Chain A
Amino acid sequence: MAFDGGRLAPGAVRDWCGTMPVHRRLLDSDPGYARAREEIETFTYDAAREDPPPLGLVTIPTVVHVVWSRPEQNVGDEQVASQIEILNRDFRRRNDDVAILPPVWAPVAADADIEFALVDVTRTRTEVAAFDTDDGVKSARAGGADPVSPDTHLNLWVCQLGGGLLGYAQFPGGPLETDGVVVTFTAFGSSGTATAPFDLGRTSTHEVGHWLNLRHIWGDDGDGCGGDDFVADTPNQGGPNYGKPTYPKVSCANGPHGDMFVNYMDYSDDAAMVMFTRGQALRMAAALRGPRSALLAAAATS
């Protein structure tokens, strides 16, 4: 059996699978978490009003955890590098495909001034065939890999996710021991196991957007028009867009330009999402000033 440098993790502890959904329910209903999220939104609102000077370039130290049970899931260093390169292009508006933008949105497409520096790749062999969103992949005890200094690092887990899920994230304000983003191995980077139409690394761009406090562009209210992403320069939009929509795609009386389906925080295919807005960049900067300020402090001293 192929085994190149990984370490054999203990198999999933049997009772763990039963207790983790409880943890998830607590997270969803825990008053402490709800309060933390409220405080973060108040801070973010105030930061947008006060319009503080730009942070300048912020480089986030990043640890990639490759957790695998079948050899093809043990994605190579070159594929990891391709993902870091994509994050650096997308968060700096250096992606060539920004050229596909309908001209109306080109002026609001933002350089978020955030980069990612790969500091380590961990490799963990697991007996878990597919991980759920119960955060098992983030715990050595559950067959995954523990995060590394999540207060000062982005932790990015790559594994087989179940249920056809591409990835999921955690907002600022959640438990430190599960902080980071998870991406399924066929939607990671742009080489190796990356598979169309999710083979341009945009799942990670989307998830890291959440990790820096961005909401879905349609406002997370199903297909309704009442939801908000708390960003002023994204149009109000009904539900998520899938595939590669054609401009203009109008919903919620948002014509003539319609939905901003080219935004990384929609559900379009990788080749169709090419931008963050200025408002989204400001919201991410507020996350770095506030709930994720330990990243800034660490960057300043490194």
Chain B
Amino acid sequence: MTPPPAALFRRWVHVREEDAEGVRVYRPADRPLPPARGRDGIEFRPDGTFADLRPGPTDAPVASVGRWTAPARDRLALAYPPGARSAGAPTGYEIVELTPDLLRLRAV
């Protein structure tokens, strides 16, 4: 297994208005972002876990922690925890683009 690029390991916020042609656009959570109701996000950690972040019942993001593996350097396979509110969430992504300011993921 080839580890994914180190730039992946941070908290990303889904900027859905920039999504195009099946590719989801994420921006770093610690940079200025256009506000929107109900942004989801994802945080990848080097220890093999990820946090799937969804708006909770009082709008603050709530995390479900699952595990990621990397079948290839540009591929991610995600295993969500049982009972997570992630029904229908993609279980695999192709990393289309990854820079310090931008993550583009295509569900596979």
Which of B1-9, B55-63, B70-78, B100-108 forms contacts with chain A? B55-63
Complexed CA–CA distance, A185 and B13 (Å): 19
**Which residues does chain A contribute within 8 Å of B37, judged by CB atoms?**
166, 198, 203, 240, 242, 267-269
Number of contact residues on A: which range applies?
A: 35 or more
Partner of A168, one of B34, B36, B60: B60
Query: How many B residues face the partner with a CB closer than 8 A?
Result: 27
Complexed CA–CA distance, A169 and B55 (Å): 12
- A165 in contact with B54 given A187-B35, A240-B38, A267-B38 (CB within 8 Å): no
**Which residues does chain A contribute within 8 Å of B35, judged by CB atoms?**
161, 164-166, 184, 186-187, 195, 198
| Contact (Cβ within 8 A) A224 B59 | no
Mark B17-44 against chain A: 1 for CB-CB distance below 8 A, else 0: 0000000000001101111111101000
Q: How far in angstroms is the closest Cβ of chain B from A201?
A: 14
Mark A27-47 against chain B: 1 for CB-CB distance below 8 A, else 0: 010000000000000000000
Interface residues of A in 89-116 (CB under 8 A from B): none
Closest chain A residue to B29 by CB distance? A163
| Contact (Cβ within 8 A) B54 A222 | yes
**Which residues does chain A contribute within 8 Å of B82, judged by CB atoms?**
none
| Contact (Cβ within 8 A) B58 A168 | yes
- A133 in contact with B86 given A164-B13, A164-B35, A267-B37 (CB within 8 Å): no
| Contact (Cβ within 8 A) A171 B41 | no
Q: How far in angstroms is the closest Cβ of chain B from A122?
A: 22
Q: How far in angstroms is the closest Cβ of chain B from A137?
A: 12
| Contact (Cβ within 8 A) A210 B58 | yes
Closest chain A residue to B37 by CB distance? A267
Closest chain B residue to A229 by CB distance? B57
Q: How far in angstroms is the closest Cβ of chain A from B83?
A: 12
| Contact (Cβ within 8 A) B86 A165 | no
Mark A168-204 against chain B: 1 for CB-CB distance below 8 A, else 0: 1111000000000000101100000001001000010
Q: How far in angstroms is the closest Cβ of chain B from A223?
A: 6
**Which residues does chain A contribute within 8 Å of B38, judged by CB atoms?**
240, 242, 267
Complexed CA–CA distance, A221 and B55 (Å): 11
Complexed CA–CA distance, A150 and B13 (Å): 32
Indicate whether B79 reaches chain A with its CB closer than 8 angstroms: no
**Which residues does chain A contribute within 8 Å of B29, judged by CB atoms?**
162-163
Complexed CA–CA distance, A216 and B62 (Å): 15
**Which residues does chain B contribute within 8 Å of A195, judged by CB atoms?**
35
| Contact (Cβ within 8 A) A221 B85 | yes
A and B contact pairs by CB, cutoff 8 A, 9 listed:
A133-B60, A164-B35, A165-B60, A167-B59, A168-B58, A206-B59, A222-B54, A222-B88, A223-B88
Residue positions of A touching B, CB distance < 8 A: 24, 28, 130, 133, 161-171, 184, 186-187, 195, 198, 203, 206-207, 210, 215-216, 220-224, 240, 242, 267-269
Q: List 8 A-B pairs, minimum CB-CB distance, nearest first.
A: A164-B33, A133-B60, A267-B37, A168-B60, A168-B59, A169-B58, A267-B38, A163-B29
